């Protein structure tokens, strides 16, 4: 669908239109989209770009409600960022493990400044302008140096109350926003006048209150934080829906079934989860607006706010007490909006200038032509040339949390002791700091996952594959996979695994949950994994960024691969993640990073222990993909893997 809209955009001859600094709406109208659809698409995507809005329209072509005139609901939040949010995220994770889900897990940390209010799609730009106007006024006033938070608990609520001075500042901002919206649109907004607070827990079982309070008192509210005004919107029709996230893709088998696309969200009626008797649920896709049946075990519970749209984010209270913040640094402009990690914009939302499309990267001549040129320039020699080097990139084996759910630890740990509750669960687990919570974002292999890795290593040995060095992502499942393959190759005593954080998967996947707590080299060694404790990473964890976009992700992986290939004349094995087969090889082939949508669509096609092999074309300065020397590994739910998928 993105390709279709790009083709349409390219055929429309809109260069002159864009150059006139016209609005995204005008561009969409010139492309031929009906005004109502264009306005709805811009509202649903936060007016990020023409490309994203047109993609949204094409994705919703089968949505029977596409042309319904239903306004979205908007709300203004004050949201903290920085070290304080890390504390709040850790509290949310701990309460989920120890006490189960409560109402607070349905959103991120925030202070609500007004009630939800409906806005027609055509009026949204005026509401956005109201946020910027108010932020501009606030920047000229005395701003609180810091927002202080006081702990409060009752039988139905655990939270943090904002101090009086900061609350007055935020209430004033909320009231001015309400006045501005009323003046420019005629829409009434009810600014909150009650005690402002961050909710830590509500709608919980009374028996959990003591534990929730105990965990809340561990939050260090003195940690520095920047506070932003954020304008969000949601689909009015889904305001009371439950939300689940697709974790396993599944094509529909019948006309009444919903296609499951990994990363999509599905809206459910409030009683759908409990009323289903056969595990099949009826829902509506957030991505396409289409409705249908789907198996519930292919999804997991998600926060309602995951489906909301961010329209503006304006810093109003600076980060204090952080060594990385310079006192002389100029404040952010009220019109500055941090980019969302989505499809690259065709138009900048600020300058309206065209953004070059880099998704296909630099062009290169056909491989046949390059090989011909290489042959002509190669000196005549009677000696047999050495075989070209090869790079083997492999996804890890089956992971526990995908098979048994994100909270598998709840059933397996009693008083801190692990017990195998299923034959496919690991027979034993390593001792590590933060256990069992640390396994939530750093899952081990299942027993089947270890067997997959072992089978792959044995097949490589039969095929005569020779490895000179092996590298792994720091994820436990990746290190376990590399260890099993080395053992099967008979190289475990002769070769150690070099663990490099630069090979970790895309950090955007951890933007909401926070970066995972990885095992130390000592913990890996104590568990019996054959890692190299003397290895110095090329990209250490300290270089990670939770705001990493897809281009930076590809570059981070390439930085490591480029370095490790320069350290040997032999073959290299890398054990990492689904996206690694492409992110670690894309630049080696003379191509640039894929777009976010293209990268995610490719990731879901890589099965456990899926392998890609690349061979050096030394004279041309690239590495070309070749057929793997071993057969694919196919079993349920592993689909048959076609290695040529990376060439699409």
Active site residue ranges: 395-396, 577
For residue 641, give the DSSP letter: P
List CB contacts of 448: < 8 A, sequence separation 6 or more.
397, 398, 403, 424
The phi and psi torsions of 21 (rounded to 5 degrees) equal 55, 40
Cis ω before 262 (30° cut-off from 0): no
> Which token pair is 322?
């952080």
C-alpha angle 577-579-583 in degrees, rounded to nearest 5: 115
Q: Using the CB atoms, write b or e for 10-24: b if 16+ within 10 Å.
A: eeeebeebbeeebeb
Question: What single string gives the DSSP state of each residue in 71-130?
Answer: PEEEEEEEEEESHHHHHHHHHHHHHHHHH---GGGGS-S-EE-B--EEE-GGGHHHHHHH
Backbone φ/ψ region at 13: left (φ over 0), alpha (ψ -120 to 50), beta: left
d(CA 608, CA 359): 26
- Please, how many CA atoms are within 13 Å of residue 493, restricted to the half-sphere of its CB? 1
Helix (H) or strand (E) holding 181: helix 164-185
Identify whether the C-beta of residue 438 lies closer than 8 Å to the C-beta of residue 432. yes
d(CA 9, CA 54): 9
The phi and psi torsions of 292 (rounded to 5 degrees) equal 170, 180
> Which token pair is 92?
């949310």
Query: In three state form, how does the secondary structure of 196-244 look?
Result: CEEEEEECCCHHHHHHHHHHHCCCCCCCCCEEEEEEEEECHHHCCCEEE
- Please, how many CA atoms are within 13 Å of residue 476, restricted to the half-sphere of its CB? 28
The phi and psi torsions of 456 (rounded to 5 degrees) equal -65, -45
Cα distances from 511 to residues 179, 243, 254, 506, 544, in angstroms, run 34, 19, 35, 10, 12
The phi and psi torsions of 143 (rounded to 5 degrees) equal -105, 140
Cis ω before 535 (30° cut-off from 0): no
Identify whether the C-beta of residue 193 lies closer than 8 Å to the C-beta of residue 72. no
Identify whether the C-beta of residue 467 lies closer than 8 Å to the C-beta of residue 573. yes
Nearest-10 Cα torsion for 245, 248, 251, 253: -100
Report the chain's terminal Cα–Cα distance, integer Å.
Answer: 16
d(CA 147, CA 108): 18
Q: What is the SS3 assignment for 292?
A: strand
Query: In terms of DSSP bridges, do strands 265-268 and 280-285 run parallel, antiparallel, or are they unpaired?
Result: antiparallel
């Amino acid at each position: 669908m993105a390709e279709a809209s790009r083709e349409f955009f390219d055929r429309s001859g809109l260069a002159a239109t864009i150059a006139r600094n016209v609005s995204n709406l005008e561009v969409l109208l010139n492309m031929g989209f009906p005004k109502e659809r264009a306005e709805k698409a811009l509202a649903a995507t936060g007016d990020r770009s023409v490309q994203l809005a047109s993609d949204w329209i094409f994705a919703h072509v089968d949505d029977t409600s596409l042309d319904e005139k239903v306004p979205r609901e908007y709300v203004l939040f004050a949201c903290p960022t920085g070290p304080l949010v890390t504390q709040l995220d850790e509290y949310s994770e701990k309460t989920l493990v120890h006490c189960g889900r409560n109402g607070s897990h349905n959103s991120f940390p925030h202070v609500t400044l007004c009630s939800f209010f409906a806005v027609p799609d055509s009026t949204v730009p005026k509401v956005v302008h109201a946020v910027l106007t108010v932020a501009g006024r606030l920047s000229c006033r005395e701003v609180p140096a810091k927002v202080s938070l006081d702990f409060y608990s009752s039988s139905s609520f655990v939270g943090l109350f904002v101090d009086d001075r900061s609350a007055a500042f935020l209430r004033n901002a909320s009231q001015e926003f309400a006045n501005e919206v009323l003046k420019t649109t005629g829409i009434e907004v009810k600014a909150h006048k009650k005690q402002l607070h961050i909710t830590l827990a509500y709608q919980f079982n009374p028996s959990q209150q003591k534990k929730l309070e105990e965990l809340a008192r561990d939050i260090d509210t003195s940690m520095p934080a920047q506070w932003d005004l954020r304008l969000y919107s949601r689909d009015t029709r889904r305001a009371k829906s439950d939300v689940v996230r697709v974790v396993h893709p599944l094509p529909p088998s019948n006309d009444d079934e919903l296609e499951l696309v990994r990363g999509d969200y599905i809206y459910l009626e409030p009683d759908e989860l409990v009323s289903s008797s056969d595990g099949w649920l009826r829902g509506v896709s957030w991505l396409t607006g289409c409705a249908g049946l789907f198996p519930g075990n292919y999804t997991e519970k998600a926060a309602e706010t995951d489906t909301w749209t961010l329209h503006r984010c304006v810093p109003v209270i600076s980060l204090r007490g952080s060594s990385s913040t310079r006192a002389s640094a100029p404040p952010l402009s009220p019109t500055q909006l941090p980019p969302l990690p989505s499809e690259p914009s065709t138009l900048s939302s600020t300058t309206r200038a065209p953004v070059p499309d880099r998704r296909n990267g630099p062009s290169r001549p056909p491989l046949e032509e390059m090989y011909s040129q290489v042959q002509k320039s190669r000196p005549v020699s009677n000696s047999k040339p050495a075989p070209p080097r090869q790079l083997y990139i492999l996804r890890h084996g089956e992971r526990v949390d995908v098979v048994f759910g994100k909270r598998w630890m709840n059933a397996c740990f009693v008083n801190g002791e692990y017990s195998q509750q299923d034959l496919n669960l690991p027979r034993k687990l390593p001792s590590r700091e933060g256990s069992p919570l640390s396994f939530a974002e750093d899952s081990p292999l299942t027993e089947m996952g270890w067997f997959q890795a072992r089978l792959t290593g044995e097949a490589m040995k039969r095929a005569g594959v020779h490895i000179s060095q092996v590298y792994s992502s720091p994820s436990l499942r990746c290190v376990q996979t590399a260890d099993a393959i080395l053992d099967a190759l008979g190289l475990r005593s002769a070769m150690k695994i070099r663990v490099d954080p630069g090979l970790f998967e895309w950090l955007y996947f951890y933007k909401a949950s926070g970066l995972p707590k990885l095992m130390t080299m000592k913990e890996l060694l104590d568990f019996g994994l054959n890692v190299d404790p003397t290895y110095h990473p090329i990209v250490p964890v300290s270089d990670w960024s939770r705001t990493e976009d897809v281009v930076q992700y590809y570059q981070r992986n390439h930085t490591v691969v480029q370095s490790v290939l320069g350290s040997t004349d032999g073959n290299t094995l890398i054990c990492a993640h689904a996206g690694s087969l492409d992110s670690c090889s894309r630049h080696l082939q003379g191509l640039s990073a894929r777009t976010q949508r293209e990268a995610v669509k490719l990731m879901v096609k890589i099965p456990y222990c899926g392998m890609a092999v690349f061979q050096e074309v030394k004279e041309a300065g690239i590495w070309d993909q070749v057929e793997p020397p071993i057969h694919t590994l196919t079993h349920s739910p592993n689909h048959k893997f076609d290695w040529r998928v990376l060439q699409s």
